[in-house]
Structure 1
Amino acid sequence: MTLRRIFSAALFSFIGITNAAIAAGPLKLLYEIRDPISYRDSRGKITGLVITPTAQAMQHAGISYVWVETPFKRQLNVVEANDEAVCAVGMFKNKDRQRYAKFSQAIFHDTDRPSVMLAHRDFQPEKSMDLLRTLSIPGIKMLKKDAASYGNVIDDAIERSRVVVVNTTAESLNMAKMLVARRADFIFVPEDEALNMIKTIPGGEQLHIFKPLGMPQGPERFLMCSLQVPDELIQRFNKALIK
């Protein structure tokens, strides 16, 4: 086979992959309302810390897309089912998710929003305790959104400590209300969200923020895509994201 024929075959293959993705319709981008990560502004436009860079990169790459508001757990299920080309926006990357999903390059570096413990005021560890020692306090209960990840450092500490985990499908705001009701001792949440919850939820004065020593900076967030999303499309997105 001549070089010209090889080039032509490769070109037709590339076009076929791209056309197949286009024929399937706009790429579905799944998100949930979680200010300031993703929310609707006063005009009803979807925006936020992970929404804006994603939209800009999609437009620069010439990728057709549509926003689909979807509960967190449902997002994971849809991506894992792999029934269609779809990406969940702003997800953390961990070993379990890498088994069934493709990830873009980081769309947001959450270094200014490290996670803290939002806790009931009865939960008062010594200020000198690090994360693992805090999680290892006998009898404490952690409230955790089902299938949620907090980044590798915190996820690993939770596993090593074997803290009692109370799973829930509730969103973060309702989880804070559950702390007030003493359903658990604490949750992990970015500090700005924790401060807002203390100010706004009924009984918020019963909560406080605890920061174990050595807490990691906020993890990077990614597009987490089903296996049906072509590698070529993710590469185009990545290149546009860098610009």
Structure 2
Amino acid sequence: MRLVLLILFILNGAAINAWGLPAQAQAQAQAQAQELEKPVLIRYRQRPPYLEKKWGELSGKCGDNVIKAFKKAKISFHTMETPFFRQLAEFQSGDAEVCSIAWLKTSKREELMKFSEPICDDGPWVIVGYKGTISPDTRSVESLLKNPELKVARRAKFSFGETLDEKIEHNKASVISVENPELKQVFDMIQAGRADYTLLPESEFYELAKKQKIHPTEFVVVKADDLKGPHLRYMICSKGVPDSVIKKFNKAISSINP
């Protein structure tokens, strides 16, 4: 009997690691450590002034903060430029373990993705409309959305953010869907008279105007009272990205964006 007890004691001792953990717990801890060490793939599409690739590294209003947070949290990562619709397909499938930067939060998106703490703020948005159709004295975007004769242009699968999306749906506004994800196509459509106006961050409009040689004087640009913000953007991650990684990132980004 003593011999049996001795053998059981030895076998049990072999299953204990240096920290006093059972072998199974040790294996789980090692697996979690490997997950934390696995580089995070950050997909992005260049979108000045939020995301630009300069000197081999992401920069811009959102990009700078994200890269600083990853480095501060000591999370290894690599970046890959990826078209918008491919990114969306990956998150919808739920198979990939990826993150992406500078997304507006909506309840529908939260069903598919994990959201970080805010990474940046757009600042005020503006109404950009067709001259002669949109009055420069417009005080609110809701007054336009209530007008059934006016058509708002929005890129397919894109969002204006939860609040504006709900206002569009509530007012049953006429929406012209632009299939091309490039923002310039929206303004081409407005200039052609196929849509009357669109909504976007003021800084993004003037950055686009500078890079694409769009003349702001050809449009009506209105700073409406109900577009002042905040308009927060987030990093999104697929469901496969460990919560522990997002938690570390959130702690770092919160110290950068108090």
TM-score interval, smaller chain: 0.7 to 0.9
Matching residue of 2:231:
219
Distance 1:18 1:91 in 2: 29
Whether 2:92 is the aligned partner of 1:80: answer yes
User: CA separation of 1:211/1:86 partners in 2, compared to 1, >3 Å: closer, same or farther?
Assistant: same
Report if aligned partners of 1:115, 1:218 keep a CA contact under 8 Å in 2.
no
- Map of 1:109-124 to 2, 5 A cutoff? 109-110=121-122, 113-124=123-134
How many residues are matched? 236
Whether 2:74 is the aligned partner of 1:101: answer no
- Map of 1:2-21 to 2, 5 A cutoff? 12-20=27-35
Report if aligned partners of 1:198, 1:205 keep a CA contact under 8 Å in 2.
no
Matching residue of 2:190:
179
List runs of 5+ in structure 1 lacking aligned partners.
none
Matching residue of 2:47:
34
Distance 2:137 2:218 in 1: 19
User: CA separation of 1:135/1:126 partners in 2, compared to 1, >3 Å: closer, same or farther?
Assistant: farther
Q: 1:172: Cα distance to partner? A: 1.2
Whether 2:248 is the aligned partner of 1:236: answer yes
Higher helix share: 2
Report if aligned partners of 2:155, 2:178 keep a CA contact under 8 Å in 1.
yes
Matching residue of 2:219:
207
- Runs of 4+ aligned structure 1 residues displaced above 3 Å come to 4-12, 195-205
Structure 1 range deviating more: 117-126 or 60-69 = 117-126
The CA deviation string for residues 195-243 of structure 1, in whole angstroms up to 9 with x for no partner, is 3455653565431212333224141111111000000111111112233
Q: Which has the larger radius of gyration?
A: 2
TM-score by length of 2: 0.81
Structure 1 range deviating more: 203-212 or 27-36 = 203-212
The CA deviation string for residues 40-72 of structure 1, in whole angstroms up to 9 with x for no partner, is 33x454211111111111112221211111222
TM-score by length of 1: 0.85
List runs of 5+ in structure 2 lacking aligned partners.
1-18
Structure 1 range deviating more: 27-36 or 126-135 = 126-135
Q: 1:68 aligns with which of 80, 93, 96?
A: 80
Report if aligned partners of 1:93, 1:151 keep a CA contact under 8 Å in 2.
yes
The CA deviation string for residues 106-129 of structure 1, in whole angstroms up to 9 with x for no partner, is 11133xx22111111022247354
Report if aligned partners of 1:198, 1:208 keep a CA contact under 8 Å in 2.
no
Distance 1:158 1:137 in 2: 11
User: CA separation of 1:8/1:59 partners in 2, compared to 1, >3 Å: closer, same or farther?
Assistant: farther
Report if aligned partners of 2:152, 2:175 keep a CA contact under 8 Å in 1.
yes
Distance 1:7 1:225 in 2: 33
Distance 2:90 2:96 in 1: 8
Matching residue of 1:163:
173
User: CA separation of 1:44/1:17 partners in 2, compared to 1, >3 Å: closer, same or farther?
Assistant: closer
